[in-house]
Amino acid sequence: MINYKTKLIAALTILFSGYQISAQTVADIKKMYDYNRFESAKKLATPLAASNPEANYYLGLSQLGLGNVEDAKTTFGKFPTDIANMTGVARALFAQKKNTEAMAILTGLTSKAKKKDFQTWKLAADAITYSPGVDVKKAIEWYTKSLEINQNGETYMALGDAYLNIADNTGGGNAETNYIYALDYQANASQIAYRRGNLWYSAHIYDSAIVNYKRCSELDAENPLPYMNFANSYYKTNRFELAKKNMESYLKLSDNTTEDYLQYINILYLCKDYAGTIAKIDEVRKQGIDKPYLSRLAGYSNYELGNNAAALADMDVYFAKVEKSKIIAADYKYYGKILSKTAGKESMASEYFIKAIDADTAADKSDAYRSMAEELKSKKDYAGAAVWYTKLIEKSDASKITANDYYYQGFCNYAAKNYPAAISAFTTMTTKYPTEPSGFYYLATSQALKDGGVKDGAAVEPYKKYIELIGVNLDKKDNLTKAYSYIIEYYNGKNDAANATQFAKQLLNVDPANTYAPQIIDYFKNGANPKPGATKPSGGKTPEKKK
């Protein structure tokens, strides 16, 4: 997922007086920083930082980008009276969740800003806009103040970023307006295209995002950022190979940091390249990188490849190392799936499936219940699956339940030989979906098996309804033969010549080679004796797909 508050970095143009530094060198540092190439920016800035506040400022920003908050705070503190570095200290405090202290610094700076000092307003606003989790309302106010003094593309671009980072996602229109203004004032066109791509991405309009990312890369072939977001956009639109290809292009242009590799591994997994995921995890582990997240993806991937023992080992390592607050529902679900396929541990699976449901933050958990049921059904644990289909139906809003859910609730009980529960489920299904043949077929078959054959004829009416809905459908010959044979046997036992003969003749339309139907017809015509019980329903067939 794109984190706009850390990834959207303003292209800062800051006027520092009293210092001389090569413009090309500053441009190079700034360029690397804008590309999120924080290691490269840090390397370029370090030799100059001791004597130049602008280089020092970018060094501190790069350290923040790398997650080294204390180092950044120390770096910014080396120029305690420089406005840019003072706003850098505020950024470090924001990163430490010390928002009150950070805002006190920024408010103090803006209160002392001179009449034409637009830079102070902008730098203070930047400290808010590009700090994750900080309310950007004050930043918007301060950018507006800066623009009243000096209208320029860099500030319009940053104001667009602030609007894009509004927590409730209502600032998209204002973000687009300010990006267009930024172009009018000669802002970096490639960076604007990138931001407009992010705007469309945040609106889930991925094809439009891709158009803008393409424009960004055309305007600046060295910029790695669009390729990362190309990958995310292509993944969202199910173009998995393009997602992987663009992530590889990103790695060619980026600093190849640990985070870059972790993102690539994540893309490989999301693209279902499980073997590639495991190979890349092995590679980074050999480099000394081994975070709990890697064990999670290794466990998931090994499970998908059928390497169950390895998957179990990976997930055991993951649970031992990860902070409990970072465990997600999918972790419990995968662990449950792995346990369900591990000899001697199958009974533990349900415990983790329940934990997965509890950890799922979705208000509507119907998909989670259904997923658990389908997982157990795929393993032919029909009794377990029936329990979860029942939970799905009982605990979900009725609008979320489909005919398939009722069908598989019934079928899993049927396959587990819990015929009363199957009859209950199929009765509900046939009431709610009276045109679905499969519900009537399995209702009848469950009743026949519960009764131990043709006793009270409980299956006659649902079998008749099944025949009515199916017609002469030779694809369903076996099911129709069973239905007709049960009905014929019932009427034969009742010595009901008319009905027994009628359904025997209909059976011959479906199965001309059937030997039982002619015996029935001949018996009631000439007194011959058919073989009673010859076609008693047997049950246990593979589930008929719902019509």
Q: Is this prediction's pTM over 0.85?
A: no
Secondary structure tally for the chain: helices H, strands E: 30, 0
- Do residues 179 and 192 lie in contact, with contact meaning Cβ atoms separated by under 8 Å? yes
Query: How much is the pLDDT for 23?
Result: 53
CATH class of 435-547: mainly alpha
Among candidates 469, 461, 484, 493, which has minimal Cα distance to 537?
484
pLDDT digit string, tens, across residues 52-90:
999 999 999 999 999 999 999 999 999 999 999 999 999
Average pLDDT over residues 509-538: 73
Give the integer Cα–Cα distance in Å for 205 and 214. 15
Instruction: Compute the mean pLDDT over every residue in the chain, rounded to the nearest whole number.
Output: 88
pLDDT digit string, tens, across residues 374-422:
878 887 889 989 998 999 999 888 888 999 999 999 999 999 999 999 9
Whose tokens are 């590889």? That residue is 248
Give the integer Cα–Cα distance in Å for 486 and 533. 9
- Is the confidence at residue 281, as pLDDT, over 60? yes
Average pLDDT over residues 5-27: 45
545 or 374, higher pLDDT: 374
Any idea which of 184-198, 348-362, 411-425 has the lowest mean pLDDT?
348-362
- Do residues 341 and 379 lie in contact, with contact meaning Cβ atoms separated by under 8 Å? yes
Q: Which CATH number among 3.40.190.10, 1.25.40.10, 3.40.50.1970, 3.30.56.10 corresponds to the domain 1-187?
A: 1.25.40.10
- Is the confidence at residue 528, as pLDDT, over 80? no
Residues in contact with 93: Cβ distance below 8 Å, sequence separation at least 6, in sequence order: 73, 99, 101, 102, 105
What is the largest distance, in Å, between two alpha-carbon atoms of the chain? 121
Tell me where in the chain the CATH 1.25.40.10 domain(s) lie: 1-187, 435-547
Cα angle 92-96-97, degrees, rounded to a multiple of 5? 115
CATH class of 366-429: mainly alpha
Among candidates 105, 90, 9, 17, which has minimal Cα distance to 53?
17
The string of DSSP letters for 38-107 reads HHHHHHHHHHHHTT-HHHHHHHHHHHHHTT-HHHHHHHHTTSTT-HHHHHHHHHHHHHTT-HHHHHHHHH
